[in-house]
Structure 1
Amino acid sequence: MASSSGLALGSQPPFVAQTAVSLSPEVSAMIFTGRGEQWACASCHGDLGQGKENVPRLAGLPADYVVKQIDDFHSGRRQNESMKIVVASLTDEEKRQLGEYYAGLRVPSNAKPELGGDLARGEALALHGDWSRNVPACFSCHGPSGFGVSPEFPALAAQHASYTASQLAAWVGGHRNNSSLDLMGRISRALSDADRRAVADYLASLPPVPAGEDAQIARIGERP
């Protein structure tokens, strides 16, 4: 069976290291070696932004979304003490370069279902939602195949299941408050724990944003 991207479901896109992004020496150091009290992005998120377990995959996320998350860690709308230290002294230009760097990475997924979730239930939630609980389909906001809609809605496809589930739980617990109109908070609270594990596992099973698809990633307010 083929997905809307033209890839067979479960297949991997070709490896592309990155699109052409000009990184300053300071930003390159921050990504790969760290800078002062700021440890390297790669030390947690991987050399190619692939992430691991409860650390998110950054590869292929829209640049504007990455910048927004950096700002939200700085302001406290997202709570993470490690990230607060990392982003504390970033300039707007450094944020832009980081966002564009990770947006340009196209690497195979190392995510997989790991929470024992019901994949059929997860697929149903992603594709159709559960209107008996006022839960819309994930893909109605996050785009076909979960590839994201910049800048507000990140790619969900190939994100690590533990990370996705932890963020849903953070919205439930009030530890994350950076969703417009509390949309994700309301959705997360409407889902059961089993549903959160199911949809997280299903999304982890999907192929990531494919190489060469940059121009096809939707942006809010743009029409073809």
Structure 2
Amino acid sequence: MTQHHRPLETVAGRFRPWHLGLATALILALLGGCSSEKGDSTTTAASAQSSQVDPLAALKWAERVAGVSTTSAESLVDGSDRTWSCASCHGEHGEGSNRIPALAGLPAGYIAKQLKDFANGTRQNATMSYLARSLSDDEMAALGRYYASRTIETPAGASLGGEIERGLTLALKGDWRVSAPACYSCHGSAGWGVGQAFPPIAGQHPVYIYQQLVAFDTGRRKNDPENFMHDVARMLSDADRRAVADYLASRPPRQVPTPLSLGAPSPDRSPESEQSIQEEDAR
């Protein structure tokens, strides 16, 4: 495996708790559209626009989401004369497929933020940008709430030929030889996400995860504050990206919705389900 060496402080030095209670780092994001977000063949530096990404955006969207119903979202999911059907790409239950991400179970604030990013060009995808520009902010919030209230029962499953044991190591421990932090240190101890800004990654489609890592690396995707995911993704070899994508895709997906309020109890933290998954990973 080719290792990409870089001084440890460039990523690890930035890998610290956020002062406003977000968590320890920022987003391995999981939302996309009907077409892929492949990066350019030549690696480009992430734009200065990334440094302007509001780290509280998902939380602010969650506040808006709390005030909307899912009624308007239902017609968007099914499709109408005004917009295409979300379900036509993301599945009847938000389960996604292959390079199209599963939306069910992602945090409402996170989903709404991604839609806004597609609409204003902060995140690039021709199909999703076209669709998102047709939505009002309330409709974005309603879609976030709609998909956040759903769950996926089974994982997508590995399909990239990645080395599962290597993926497990990267998810649980990272690899500080290449300055790569553990995926679970930001996305929860079972990969079920943390709050509104850190989406679940366990059970997601491996092709989608892999493509997003490539997009972060090349700078095609740059809607993460401080370019954190750009720095993490570029530390990983192609084999490592496939390994971690396949490992995460083989894990049980989140089984309960993410609460909208920071003060609300988080049902995925106390039950035995997450603890048992942690113990299984550790074996």
- TM-score, scaled relative to structure 2: 0.66
Cα 1:33–1:111 shift into 2, 3 Å:
same
Distance 2:78 2:241 in 1: 33
- Equivalent in 99, 104, 107 of residue 59 of structure 1: 104
The reply to whether residue 28 of structure 1 matches residue 74 of structure 2 is yes
Unpaired runs of 5+ residues, structure 1, are 1-20, 219-224
Secondary structure in 2 matching 1:196:
helix
**Residue equivalent to 1:3:** none
SS of corresponding position for 1:126: helix
- Residue in 1 that maps onto 2:203: 158
**CA distance in structure 1 between the partners assigned to 2:92 and 2:187 by the alignment:** 26
Identity of aligned residues (%): 46
CA distance in 2, matches of 1:128, 1:110: 22
CA RMSD of aligned residues (A): 1.7
Q: What secondary structure, in the 3-state scheme, does the structure 1 residue paired with 2:190 have?
A: helix
Deviation, structure 1 residue 23: 2.5
Assess, with a 3 A threshold, how the Cα gap between structure 1 residues 204 and 34 changes in structure 2: closer, same or farther.
Answer: farther
Please give the residue correspondences for 1:20-169 in structure 2 after superposition, counting only pairs within 5 Å: 22-24=69-71, 26-36=72-82, 38-109=83-154, 111-169=156-214
For residue 179 of structure 1, what is the amino acid of its counterpart? D
2:31 matched to which residue of 1?
none
1:216 aligned residue (256, 267, 273): 267
1: CA distance, partners of 2:208 / 2:166: 19
1:102 alignment partner AA: Y
Q: Cα distance, 1:213 vs. partner?
A: 7.2
Bigger mean CA deviation after superposition, 79-88 or 103-112: 103-112
Q: Which moved more, 1:150-159 or 1:57-66?
A: 150-159
C-alpha change, 1:74 and 1:174, in structure 2 (3 Å) is same
CA contact (8 A) 1:64 1:150 kept: no
Q: 1:160 to 1:213 in 2, by over 3 A?
A: same
- Work out the CA distance in 2 between the residues paired with 1:112 and 1:135: 24
SS in structure 1 at match of 2:128? helix
Work out the number of aligned pairs and report it.
196
Q: Which amino acid aligns with 2:267?
A: Q
The whole-number CA distance in structure 2 between the counterparts of 1:100 and 1:189 is 32
Alignment of 1:190-201 (within 5 A): 190-201=235-246
Q: How big is the shift at 1:137?
A: 0.3
| 1:72 and 1:78 in contact (8 A); partners too | yes
Letter in 1 for 2:93: L
CA contact (8 A) 1:74 1:88 kept: yes
SS of 2:110's equivalent in the other structure is helix
Unaligned runs of 5+ in 2: 1-67, 260-265, 270-283
Q: In structure 2, give the amino acid aligned to 1:33.
A: G
Give the direction of change, closer, same or farther, for the CA distance of 1:187–1:207 in structure 2 (3 Å limit). Answer: same
C-alpha separation between the residues in 1 aligned to 2:258 and 2:106?
Answer: 12
Shift, 1:112, TM fit = 0.8
Shift of 1:90: 1.4
Retained in 1: the 8 A contact 2:150–2:257?
Answer: no
Give, in whole Å, the separation in 2 of the partners of 1:110 and 1:116: 16
1:171-224 residue CA offsets vs partner (Å, 9 max, x unmatched): 112110011110100000010000000000000001111147753357xxxxxx
Shift of 1:22: 3.5
Deviations 1:137-181 (A, max 9, x none): 000001111001122211001100000000000111211001111
